[in-house]
């Protein structure tokens, strides 16, 4: 009732309200007075003197009205109703207290000194309350007794214990005192209640009192009795599963006999509610076919009844009998013995069995043959064993590699997502070394994941784990800031689960890297969404930086080794290795002479040395497999980038790669310099090709994949996606605090920017150069030279950022040339070199103590951070001044640099002092340049003679400065260690580069937020598919969205690719054409479980989608009743539903000829013809639309018609089913209706004003519909969004719209026309 409300005291809901009243009704107070209410309402106090005394006179009874049994007040009893038998009112929970000492109870014949508790436990009857341990002990005792032969065997019949005897208290023990009895004590109350009950039954109901069963005392039940009790309990449990709703009044405290009686009553009248395969089991276990022997007396304890010796020709039920495949009680399927053997072959690591690849391979061989016949019930039995293998360390990888594909094929996409998605993610997230782990990153296994799980679940749940391995990080993808799915409202854009913020608390200097945001727009778009960056876990961040984690791979792969602090560890390690080698040689020489115990000790030492060598070889193998894993993941990511297309690649791969790049530089260990090859001392003067840090080595695979994607889709990916992200990472904030995450973001931004500059064209670089200076370089220099903020990584992190920033500035200057440097980079260079003027000591040495330097007013000196000043003193040192000043002096000339730098004298003096220090240590080097001379070093000839446009013998070749090996000083490695063409590299132009309409669509999709999952139709023409010569009847995209099927009146079915090509104005030819039909084809669908295609022209054709060869052809079942509709069951079902004109549904198994079964729907003769069918995503129901407007809802498992309703006034054109038991139908009455299967009224009803909706498709919670007037409408399933309609323009679509299909993941629309042309629009 709508106006019914609960009282204020009930705050726990209606269930608590009902439970409280039930407790009150069953309370002692109500039970004691309940019989009085019965007497007043139905009993003897309705008439006579008792009614007058009780003031309960009923006029209809006094007036002697007739027909009182049909209406009015009815008097049922003329005798007082007995009180409810609930024990005496004076009974207490505890016995009355006695003032004296209680007597000691002893049993008869007991001389062993057993306590009363032990004797009671030994002679108490075995009941339901006894545990499993007592039953096991009793079983063992019975087995041991049955093994004895001869007269000496003890009897199993134990006489009951006699009544307890009392023992008088001894002298001094007995105390005189009264016994306090409860108030109202009546020892005859039980007899009085029994007498009242007898009088009520004999006088009031004219019936005899029931005979009380005789009970001779407690007896010990036999093992067969206990076994029968268990079988009867099992039968009760089976019946309660189906009668659960009807048995709720019993409550949880009901005893087994009460449950048994209730189940028997329900089974006798409602047996059809029990599943048909278990009806015989309920009848047999509860013995309901005939009257049970002894049913009129109280059943023996503990069994409810005794089974006969022969029951339906079989022995009494037992566990062994129920599990027998020949037993008809519980019909197990034919595959159950094989399933049982397979389940027994599974083992856990704790059993000591050898687990590994061979074990899983043997299981796969058995499982592959079993899954062809196993049913869903068998899969539910098998799945727990597979989950255990996926969680074990030794079998996790091999179980995923061998068992995933057959199990996912048997489960279908929905079942695989429910059962296997989480365990697979756990295998990817498992930290540590797993043998054969690279198998999970191969392209063939990734393709299986996409096909069997579905494209969207793979992108959101598993792709982040595949990308994560590129950095060598271990742990969950959320810890790296990765994930997927727009359903994560508050977390990261790519995560189905919320990312965890592990960075230091508080804000940091620069842009706030809050979660759930992503930069968007064009080149440095103003509107940005924050890109979530979560800190990696401790195990993932620290483990990658350690030397043990790198193993030999760190040296063999990149030729780099970690520097030893202090420079002594490496030497000590070498000495220890020499000593170990000497000891091994000595042990080998002494081995033949070791015959004494000392010799045995030598042998043990030699064996231990061999074991250590084996461990080293295992570590080497692990390092090689880690390298294989990295290479395999790189190849797979590149393959995925090409397969997914530009929009999905940018949304799910590029964005995650950009986030992973930040984690490559997170932590102090990732910011340590590594040595180059065989060089003992790193290059000092190199500013462009600087010394790499460990993070650079970790980031190499990530940058390699980003460059590949840029080469695949062109320069826009760098300018419209990577550059905004870089600007976002370095964007300043209102706080001065800098945490570790922001520190890593600045380093990653500089590294990524260097990579971008190399691949940008000259025109693009000059276009974005002002933005690069304003939004990238200046914010970084502000942080780098700030005396207010210290770095979490200390001077080392600031030094690395300074070197990388200087390298980026040098790279930009070398790309644009001398004139452009003066014009565009002056402010940037000045801001960098002003960092040398921060320290007062340096300013005093240069004589600038009284000259304020720009950007740091003297009034702010009190707010400077002492730690930041120490870092600046160490970073902006003499070495940095020398490394930075000399190359830029060479590039733009001494006169220009003196004019640009406001602190030129200070910087030049620091460079000169560094040169003096180097010369003082014995290094031979030319003198530093003088600020008073325009030509720093004398040359062999005038500038015009050697063609040098710079200084130091450098030559200008275009925008690049080249220094000859003989003319360049040894301490100035400006470009001697550069790779050829490292200043500028061409991306190349592939056939899939973004251009024209594809570029416009991609820019819009990249700029959209991850939370926006709606379809926005902008009529951007992306592709044209030509090949059909007649009307296009249907369009059916494949689940991977890289191909789609089309049918036409030209009697062909064509398979088309969906890869971007050109600028959107070109045409695409079909990849495959199936031309075996004889009539126009009006339907084509993919059979997901079989990976085949079913098409129909009145005859159903099953053919291979990869080769185009026919597999099986099903002719028309009756020439008088042609096929009118076809629908494929979702995986894992293989059936195909075919509707004919006689209103019959035929089920076809494409794997074999003939029909499975058929359901006739011709209940109403006026229903008409079957026009369309829609199968629910679970495959449990099918909706059939008729030409009369009726919709029939049918259960595909039983054939029962669940619902029939008149949905429309005329012919139904199309039906679609989606999650949540929702149906969408369109009709010629111009209506589009959304239905709930359980409701009779529509959820939403849309009316087209002019034309009927003859084609529509579903996209999430939206319906994209088209009419013959070439109008596209977007409707909401829940009505939360207003309807949006637009008319197709003539430039984008020609002809009449005949078919429509959505690509949900890519958010694209396929449209077919009557002229045979298909268009792909966005």
Please determine, for residue 746, whether its predicted confidence score (pLDDT) is greater than 60.
yes
Question: What is each CA distance from 1160 to 1143, 1144, 1197, 1204, in whole angstroms?
Answer: 6, 4, 14, 14
Tokens of 361: 């391979």
* H helix or E strand, kind and range, residue 619: helix 597-644
Average pLDDT, the chain: 75
Cα–Cα distance measured from residue 1322 to residue 1312, given in angstroms and rounded to the nearest whole number: 14
CB 874 within 8 A of CB 799: yes
Please determine, for residue 859, whether its predicted confidence score (pLDDT) is greater than 60.
no
Q: Mean per-residue pLDDT for 187-208?
A: 78
Q: Which residues pair with 1274 in a beta bridge?
A: 1264, 1284
More reliable by pLDDT, 933 or 26: 26
Q: Mean per-residue pLDDT for 117-146?
A: 43
Q: Mean per-residue pLDDT for 205-217?
A: 63
Query: How do residues 438-457 score in pLDDT, each as one tens digit?
Result: 889 999 999 999 999 999 99
More reliable by pLDDT, 920 or 266: 266
Q: What is the pLDDT of residue 1026?
A: 93
Using the 8-state DSSP alphabet, how is residue 654 labeled? Answer: I
Q: Mean per-residue pLDDT for 258-283?
A: 89
Q: Mean per-residue pLDDT for 417-433?
A: 86
Q: What is the pLDDT of residue 212?
A: 57
Burial class (CB in 10 A: 0-12, 13-18, 19+), 558: middle
Please determine, for residue 953, whether its predicted confidence score (pLDDT) is greater than 90.
no
Q: What is the pLDDT of residue 290?
A: 62
Q: What is the pLDDT of residue 577?
A: 38
Please determine, for residue 884, whether its predicted confidence score (pLDDT) is greater than 50.
yes
Please determine, for residue 696, whether its predicted confidence score (pLDDT) is greater than 80.
yes
More reliable by pLDDT, 794 or 142: 794
> Using 50, 70 and 90 to split pLDDT, how confident is the model at 1218?
very high
Listed range (132-136, 192-196, 499-503, 805-809) with the worst mean pLDDT: 499-503
CB 1056 within 8 A of CB 1043: yes
Please determine, for residue 95, whether its predicted confidence score (pLDDT) is greater than 90.
no
Q: Is 46 left (phi over 0), alpha (psi -120 to 50) or beta?
A: alpha
Q: What is the pLDDT of residue 856?
A: 45
Q: What is the pLDDT of residue 432?
A: 64
Please determine, for residue 156, whether its predicted confidence score (pLDDT) is greater than 80.
no
Listed range (567-571, 896-900, 1148-1152, 1313-1317) with the worst mean pLDDT: 567-571
Burial class (CB in 10 A: 0-12, 13-18, 19+), 418: exposed
CB 896 within 8 A of CB 950: no
CA angle 412, 415, 421 (to 5 degrees): 110
The DSSP string of 25-38 is HTSHHHHHHHHHHH
Q: What is the pLDDT of residue 509?
A: 35
> Using 50, 70 and 90 to split pLDDT, how confident is the model at 1127?
very high
Cα–Cα distance measured from residue 659 to residue 502, given in angstroms and rounded to the nearest whole number: 15
Cα–Cα distance measured from residue 1031 to residue 1311, given in angstroms and rounded to the nearest whole number: 12
Locate all alpha helices (DSSP H) within 56-204, ordered by sequence: 59-62, 116-123, 132-146, 189-199
More reliable by pLDDT, 953 or 929: 929
Please determine, for residue 795, whether its predicted confidence score (pLDDT) is greater than 80.
yes
Q: Describe the chain by its helix, strand, coil percentages, rounded to 5.
A: 40, 15, 45
Q: What is the pLDDT of residue 227?
A: 87
> Using 50, 70 and 90 to split pLDDT, how confident is the model at 609?
low
CB 1121 within 8 A of CB 1141: yes
Q: Mean per-residue pLDDT for 687-696?
A: 72
Q: What is the pLDDT of residue 73?
A: 76
Q: Mean per-residue pLDDT for 937-954?
A: 35
> Using 50, 70 and 90 to split pLDDT, how confident is the model at 162?
very low
Q: What is the pLDDT of residue 5?
A: 83
Q: Which residues pair with 1025 in a beta bridge?
A: 1068, 1318
CB 751 within 8 A of CB 704: no
Listed range (159-173, 328-342, 424-438, 1220-1234) with the worst mean pLDDT: 159-173
Please determine, for residue 1021, whether its predicted confidence score (pLDDT) is greater than 90.
yes
Q: What is the pLDDT of residue 676?
A: 56
Q: What is the pLDDT of residue 365?
A: 87
Tokens of 236: 């009760």
Most confident of 54-68, 192-206, 418-432, 475-489: 418-432
Please determine, for residue 668, whether its predicted confidence score (pLDDT) is greater than 70.
yes
Burial class (CB in 10 A: 0-12, 13-18, 19+), 974: buried
Please determine, for residue 247, whether its predicted confidence score (pLDDT) is greater than 70.
yes
Q: Mean per-residue pLDDT for 53-82?
A: 73
The DSSP string of 446-466 is HHHHHHHH-HHHIIIIIHHHH
Question: What is each CA distance from 1038 to 418, 640, 680, 1055, 1081, in whole angstroms?
Answer: 22, 17, 58, 10, 18
> Using 50, 70 and 90 to split pLDDT, how confident is the model at 319?
confident
Please determine, for residue 129, whether its predicted confidence score (pLDDT) is greater than 80.
no
High-pLDDT (> 70) share of the chain, %: 69
Please determine, for residue 777, whether its predicted confidence score (pLDDT) is greater than 60.
yes
Please determine, for residue 221, whether its predicted confidence score (pLDDT) is greater than 80.
no
Please determine, for residue 999, whether its predicted confidence score (pLDDT) is greater than 90.
yes
Please determine, for residue 297, whether its predicted confidence score (pLDDT) is greater than 90.
no
Nearest to 44 by CA among 68, 75, 23, 14: 75
Q: Mean per-residue pLDDT for 994-1005?
A: 93
Q: What is the pLDDT of residue 508?
A: 34
Query: How do residues 813-838 score in pLDDT, each as one tens digit?
Result: 988 888 888 888 889 989 988 888 87
Cα–Cα distance measured from residue 1279 to residue 750, given in angstroms and rounded to the nearest whole number: 48
Rounded to the nearest 5°, which phi and psi values hold at 202? -80, -40
Query: How do residues 1041-1096 score in pLDDT, each as one tens digit?
Result: 999 999 999 999 999 999 998 888 889 999 999 999 999 999 999 998 888 999 99
Q: What is the pLDDT of residue 460?
A: 92
Compute the Cα dihedral for 8, 9, 14, 20 and give only its sign.
Answer: negative
More reliable by pLDDT, 15 or 294: 15
> Using 50, 70 and 90 to split pLDDT, how confident is the model at 392?
confident
Q: Mean per-residue pLDDT for 494-516?
A: 35
> Using 50, 70 and 90 to split pLDDT, how confident is the model at 275?
confident
Please determine, for residue 82, whether its predicted confidence score (pLDDT) is greater than 60.
yes
Q: Mean per-residue pLDDT for 65-85?
A: 72
Instruction: Name, in order, each residue with C-beta under 8 angstroms of 343's C-beta and a sequence gap of 6 or more.
Output: 381, 382, 385
Query: How do residues 1222-1277 score in pLDDT, each as one tens digit?
Result: 999 999 999 999 999 888 889 999 988 788 999 999 998 999 999 999 999 999 99
> Using 50, 70 and 90 to split pLDDT, how confident is the model at 1193?
very high
The number of helix segments (H) and strand segments (E) in the chain equals 42, 31
Q: What is the pLDDT of residue 128?
A: 40
Q: Mean per-residue pLDDT for 657-678?
A: 84
CB 1168 within 8 A of CB 1187: yes
Please determine, for residue 954, whether its predicted confidence score (pLDDT) is greater than 60.
no
Q: What is the pLDDT of residue 818?
A: 84
Q: Mean per-residue pLDDT for 371-382?
A: 86
Q: Mean per-residue pLDDT for 752-769?
A: 92
């Amino acid at each position: 009732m709508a106006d019914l409300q609960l009282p204020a005291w009930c705050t726990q809901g209606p269930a608590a309200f009902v439970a409280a009243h039930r407790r009150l009704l069953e309370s002692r107070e109500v039970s004691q007075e309940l019989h009085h209410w019965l007497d007043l309402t139905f009993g003897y106090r309705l008439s006579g003197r008792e009614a007058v005394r009780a003031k309960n006179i009923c006029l209809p009874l006094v007036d002697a009205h007739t027909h009182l049994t049909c209406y009015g007040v009815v008097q049922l009893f003329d005798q007082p109703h007995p009180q409810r038998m609930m024990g005496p009112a004076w009974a207490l929970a505890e016995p009355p207290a006695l003032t004296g000492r209680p007597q000691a109870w002893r049993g008869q014949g007991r001389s062993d000194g057993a306590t009363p508790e032990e004797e009671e436990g030994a002679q108490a009857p075995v009941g339901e309350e006894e545990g499993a341990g007592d039953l096991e002990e009793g079983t063992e005792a019975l087995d041991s007794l049955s093994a004895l032969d001869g007269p000496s065997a003890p009897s199993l019949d134990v006489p009951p214990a006699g009544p307890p005897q009392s023992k008088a208290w001894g002298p001094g023990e007995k105390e005189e005192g009264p016994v306090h009895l409860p108030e109202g004590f009546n020892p005859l109350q039980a007899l009085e209640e029994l007498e009242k009950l007898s009088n009520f039954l004999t006088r009031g109901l004219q019936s005899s009192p029931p005979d009380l069963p005789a009970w001779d005392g407690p007896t010990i039940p036999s093992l067969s009795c206990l076994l029968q009790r268990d079988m009867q309990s099992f039968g009760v449990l089976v019946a309660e599963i189906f009668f659960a709703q009807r048995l709720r009044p019993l409550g949880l405290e009901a005893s087994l006999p009460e449950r048994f009686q209730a189940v028997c009553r329900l089974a006798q009248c409602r047996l059809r509610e029990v599943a048909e395969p278990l009806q015989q089991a309920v009848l047999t276990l509860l013995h309901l076919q005939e009257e049970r022997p002894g049913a009129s007396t109280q059943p023996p304890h503990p069994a409810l009844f005794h089974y006969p010796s022969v029951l339906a020709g079989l022995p009494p039920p037992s566990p062994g009998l129920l599990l027998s495949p020949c037993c008809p009680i519980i019909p197990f399927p034919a595959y159950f013995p094989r399933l049982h053997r397979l389940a027994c072959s599974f083992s856990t690591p704790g059993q000591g069995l050898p687990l590994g690849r061979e074990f899983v391979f043997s299981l796969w061989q058995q499982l592959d043959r079993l899954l062809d016949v196993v049913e869903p019930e068998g899969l539910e039995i098998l799945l727990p064993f597979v989950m255990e293998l996926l969680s074990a360390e030794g079998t996790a990888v091999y179980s995923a590699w061998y068992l995933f594909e057959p199990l996912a094929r048997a489960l279908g996409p929905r079942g695989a997502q429910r059962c296997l998605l989480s365990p697979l993610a756990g295998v990817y997230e498992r930290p540590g070394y797993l043998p054969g782990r690279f198998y999970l990153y191969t392209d063939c296994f990734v393709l299986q994941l996409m096909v069997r799980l579905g494209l969207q679940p793979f992108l959101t749940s598993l792709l982040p784990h595949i990308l994560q391995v590129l950095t060598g990080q271990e742990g969950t993808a959320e810890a790296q800031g990765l994930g997927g799915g727009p359903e994560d409202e508050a977390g990261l854009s790519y995560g189905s689960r919320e990312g965890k913020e592990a960075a230091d608390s508080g804000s940091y200097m620069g842009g706030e890297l809050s979660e759930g945001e992503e930069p968007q727009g064009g080149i440095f778009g103003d509107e940005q969404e924050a890109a979530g960056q979560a800190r990696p876990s401790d195990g993932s961040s620290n483990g990658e930086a350690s030397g043990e984690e790198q193993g030999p791979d760190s040296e063999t792969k990149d030729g780099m080794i970690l520097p030893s602090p202090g420079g002594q560890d490496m030497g000590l390690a070498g000495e220890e290795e020499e000593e170990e080698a000497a000891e091994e040689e000595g042990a080998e020489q002494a081995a033949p002479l070791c015959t004494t115990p000392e010799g045995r000790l030598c042998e043990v030492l030699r064996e231990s040395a061999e074991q250590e060598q084996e461990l080293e070889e295992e570590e080497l193998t692990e390092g090689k497999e880690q390298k294989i894993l990295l290479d395999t993941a790189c190849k797979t990511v590149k393959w995925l980038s090409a397969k997914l297309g530009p929009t999905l690649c940018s949304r799910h791969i590029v964005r995650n790669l950009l986030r992973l790049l930040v984690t490559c530089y997170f932590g102090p260990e990732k910011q340590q310099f590594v040595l180059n090859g065989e060089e003992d001392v790193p290059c000092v003067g190199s500013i462009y090709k600087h010394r790499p840090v460990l993070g650079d080595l970790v980031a190499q695979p990530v940058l390699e994949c980003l460059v590949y994607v840029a080469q695949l889709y062109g320069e826009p990916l760098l300018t419209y996606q990577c550059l905004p992200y870089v600007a976002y990472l370095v964007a300043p904030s209102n706080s001065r605090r800098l945490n570790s995450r922001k520190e890593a973001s600045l380093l990653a931004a500089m590294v990524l920017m260097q990579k971008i500059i190399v691949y940008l064209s000259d025109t693009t670089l000059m276009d974005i150069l002002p933005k690069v200076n304003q939004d990238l370089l200046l914010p970084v220099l502000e942080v780098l030279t700030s005396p207010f903020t210290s770095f979490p990584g200390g001077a080392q992190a600031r030094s690395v950022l300074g070197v990388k920033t200087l390298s980026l500035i040098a790279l930009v200057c070398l790309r644009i040339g001398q004139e452009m440097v003066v014009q565009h980079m002056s402010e940037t260079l000045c801001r960098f070199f002003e960092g040398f003027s921060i320290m007062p000591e340096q300013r005093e040495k240069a004589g600038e103590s009284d000259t304020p330097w720009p950007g740091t007013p003297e009034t702010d000196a009190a707010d400077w951070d002492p730690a930041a000043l120490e870092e600046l003193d160490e970073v902006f040192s003499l070495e940095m001044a020398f490394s930075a000043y000399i190359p830029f002096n060479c590039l733009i000339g001494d006169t220009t640099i003196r004019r640009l730098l406001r602190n030129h004298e200070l910087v030049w003096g620091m460079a000169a002092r560094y040169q003096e220090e180097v010369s003082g240590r014995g290094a031979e080097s030319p003198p530093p340049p003088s600020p008073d001379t325009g030509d720093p070093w004398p040359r062999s000839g005038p500038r015009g003679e050697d063609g040098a446009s710079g200084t130091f013998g450098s030559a200008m070749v275009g925008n690049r400065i080249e220094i000859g090996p003989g003319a360049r000083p040894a301490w100035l490695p400006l470009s001697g260690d550069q790779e050829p063409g490292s200043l500028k590299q061409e991306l190349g132009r592939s056939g899939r580069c973004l251009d024209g309409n594809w570029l416009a669509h991609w820019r819009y999709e990249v700029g959209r937020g991850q939370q926006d999952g709606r379809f926005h139709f902008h009529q951007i023409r992306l592709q044209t598919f030509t090949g059909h010569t007649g009307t296009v009847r249907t369009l059916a995209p494949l689940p991977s969205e890289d191909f789609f099927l089309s049918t036409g009146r030209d009697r062909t079915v064509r398979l088309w690719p969906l890869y971007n090509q050109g600028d959107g104005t070109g045409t695409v030819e079909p990849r495959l054409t199936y031309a075996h039909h004889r009539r126009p084809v009006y339907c084509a669908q993919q059979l997901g479980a079989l990976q085949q295609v079913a098409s129909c022209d009145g005859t159903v054709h099953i053919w291979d989608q990869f080769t185009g060869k026919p597999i099986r052809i099903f002719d028309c079942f009756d020439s008088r009743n042609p096929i009118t509709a076809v629908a494929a069951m979702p995986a894992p079902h293989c059936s195909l539903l075919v509707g004919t004109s006689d209103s019959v549904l035929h089920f076809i198994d494409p794997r074999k000829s003939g029909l499975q079964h058929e359901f006739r729907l011709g209940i109403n003769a006026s229903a008409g013809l079957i026009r369309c069918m829609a199968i629910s995503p679970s495959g449990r129901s099918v909706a059939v639309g008729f030409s009369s407007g009726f919709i029939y809802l049918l259960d595909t498992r039983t054939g029962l018609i669940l619902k029939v309703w008149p949905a429309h006034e005329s012919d139904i054109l199309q039906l679609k089913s989606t999650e949540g038991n929702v149906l969408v139908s369109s009709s010629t009455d111009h209506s589009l209706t959304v239905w709930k299967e359980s409701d009779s009224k529509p959820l939403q009803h849309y009316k087209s004003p002019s034309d009927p909706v003859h084609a529509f498709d579903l996209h999430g919670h939206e319906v994209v519909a088209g009419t013959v007037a070439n109008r596209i409408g977007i409707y909401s399933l829940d009505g939360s969004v207003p309807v949006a309609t637009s008319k197709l323009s003539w430039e984008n679509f020609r002809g009449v719209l005949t078919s429509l299909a959505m690509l949900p993941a890519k958010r694209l629309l396929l449209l077919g026309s009557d002229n045979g042309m298909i268009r792909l629009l966005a």
